[in-house]
Amino acid sequence: MSDPPHELTGTQPPPAKSRPRSSLSSAAEVATTSGRDRIKKSRPPPPPPPPPPPRREARVPLRLLLQVTVVASGVQFGWALQLSLLTPYVQELGIPHSFASFVWLCGPLSGLFVQPLVGVMSDRCYSKLGRRRPFIIGGAAVIAVSVLLIGHAADIGGILGDPADAVVRPRAIAIFVVGFWLLDVGNNTIQGPCRALLADLTGKDHRRTRVANAYYSLFMALGSVLGYAAGSFSGWFKILPFTLTSACNTNCANLKSVFLVDVILLVLSTYISISSVKEVPLSRASSSPDEETPAQEAFFWDLLGVFRYITLPIWIILIVTCLNWIGWFPFTLFDTDWMGREIYRGDPNGGQNYHTGVRMGAFGLMLNAIVLGFTSVMLEKLCRKLGSGLVWGISSIILSFCLGAMLIITAVLKNMDISSTGLPPTGIVVAALIVFAVLGAPLAITYSLPYALISARIESLGLGQGLAMGVLNLAIVIPQIIVSLGVDHGISYLEVGTLPPLLWEQLQLFLAAWRPLLLFPGHILQNQRNLQNQRTADKKDAMRSHSLWEG
């Protein structure tokens, strides 16, 4: 970590007037000369490409790519706490279970607008710090403020007039929701530029792009392990006794304490990442006056324009990602809640069983993160051996089987009488933990492969990597909005627990699993035919990468 920052050296790109015309502009001219003037007039011309990044004289060593991805651990630590603790905590403040998914709606909504906008703005950022690093720093600052608001929501609500023993504390809920929304804004601000920075550093080397995204997933796994371990520990209020107040009970004090730890870890990881490489700032001379448009106008112009030109493989990536997240999002909402309600049969507003189940669910998610880390390490080898499409399809099948196992576990436990002990049988708890752990494998692939595939294929459109991440993010957040507004609210309104979301996940994941395997077999077979040549090239590239690592 003591190595000096690695500067992306190179000459600045020539002015836009001297650059060759983009492939999209050429396509529009061909359409005009072929007699389709009316179609051309009905469609706006494609957006101008963002200024290209400076050319590099040498590839960035792998050890520096590893350092750049350290920030993922700090972000994911807070995300793990958010997933494991905040759904139960918001019910303690008085929000009914039927409205818990509405609180989570902020994540998809902020992702729908914030991440694509940040992606476009970072593609055209002229800051002295570079294109991506200002947004990474800003996102980290927003996350730090938000977790402090969430952790101190009960205290602030008490100061503003909430009774400490009230079942519903409206002022604390308001502070919590504001902090929760800011947390998702910060997460969406920081993750897109991080991914885009990795794509900038790896250039057109698709293998190194997969390696960089695997590094990112590895540090996400590390942050998740630490976050879920911290969330499952119930003695934080003893280590930091000042967090326990009249308005904040032990569960609240534990939450407040781990978020203070999160701020420290986030600051350290962000500093390591942004100090590892030094981006060469873009020169304003690299863009012509005609290309200088307001950021918001460019955002909508680029985002709407890109969908008219993306190719079939990119559509496949977006469709499979969309179906996967329709399945994943209910699980992320109700994983620990499922353990507390369905396995331990607890009530968020009374009794200890629910909180015991939530902590056990956090422990299961920690096991999930460990498996995620191991899978991230092996992912590059799996993709080289089997092909990215096949690996992605198999991961969706595994995910579907695991959710089916959760259905079986829930059904079996409902037919058991546990009134004598009040606790579920050990075998049921172990089975649930195994399911949580196995789900780490498809989660690692979900966190890595779509980003690597989209960044490798979006270059043919002549668009920036920030916009590429924004386009993929739409395939993630739109299904989340659908789930938050429709499925989960309807299920909770009918008061049928967390079992039906698993049935919904099963249907969507079945479609997602077989789409890349069956609908487009030719693309997969072509990948298989090219594997032998790719392996030979990868061996030579690995030798060069080793020398760069040592250098």
Where b means 16+ CB within 10 Å and e means fewer, 70-94 reads: bbbbbbbbbbbbbbbbbbbbbbbbe
- The predicted structure's pLDDT at residue 313: 79
Helix axes 71-81, 250-274, angle to 10 degrees: 160
477, 332 Cβ separation under 8 angstroms = no
Instruction: Out of 356-365, 366-375, 385-394, pick the least confident.
Output: 385-394
Give CA separation, 251 vs 246, 255, 334, 454, in Å.
12, 6, 18, 41
Weakest mean pLDDT among 94-103, 153-162, 228-237 = 94-103
pTM of the model: 0.66
Confirm whether 544 is domain-assigned.
no
Mean pLDDT, range 8-12, rounded to an integer:
42
Greatest mean pLDDT among 58-62, 261-265, 287-291: 261-265
CB under 8 Å to 216, separation ≥6 — which residues? 69, 72, 194, 195, 198, 447, 448, 451
Model pLDDT, residue 271:
94
When pLDDT is cut at 50, 70 and 90, the band that residue 493 belongs to is very low
**E strands, 325-462, where?**
none
In the block, residue with structure tokens 């001379």: 285
Burial letters 188-219, b for 16+ CB under 10 A, else e: bbbbbbbbbbbbbbbeeebbbbbbbbbbbbbb
Residues of the chain with pLDDT > 70: what percent?
Answer: 68
Average pLDDT of 142-154? Answer: 92
The whole-chain average pLDDT of the chain stands at 74
Q: Is residue 369 part of a domain?
A: yes
For residue range 72-83, list pLDDT tens digits in order: 999 989 888 887
Query: Tens digit of pLDDT for each residue in 22-49?
Result: 443 444 444 444 444 444 444 445 555 5
Query: Could you read off the pLDDT of 409-445 as tens digits, one per residue?
Result: 888 888 887 766 678 888 999 999 999 999 999 988 8
> Tell me, what CATH number does 387's domain have?
1.20.1250.20
Does residue 461 lie in a domain region? yes
When divided into structural domains, the chain yields a total of: 1
Any domain includes 324: yes
Nearest one of 426, 432, 433, 440 to 407, comparing CA atoms: 432
Q: Quick one: tokens of 237? A: 């209020």
Give residues with Cβ within 8 angstroms of 402, minimum separation 6: 435, 438, 439, 442
Query: Which residue range forms the structural domain that includes residue 235?
Result: 59-285+306-537
Q: Going by DSSP bridges, is the β-strand pair 277-278/6-7 parallel, antiparallel, or unpaired?
A: parallel
3-state DSSP assignment of residue 278: strand
**Tokens representing residue 190 in the block:** 């920081």
Q: Which helix (H) or strand (E) holds 6?
A: strand 6-7
Distance CA 396, CA 474 (A): 20
Does the residue 465 lie in any domain? yes
Q: Does 12 fall in a domain?
A: no
In a domain, 137, yes or no: yes
Angle, CA 510 vertex, CA 509 and CA 512 arms, to 5°? 60
Mean pLDDT throughout 126-134?
A: 84
Q: Which two tokens stand for residue 489?
A: 């609210």
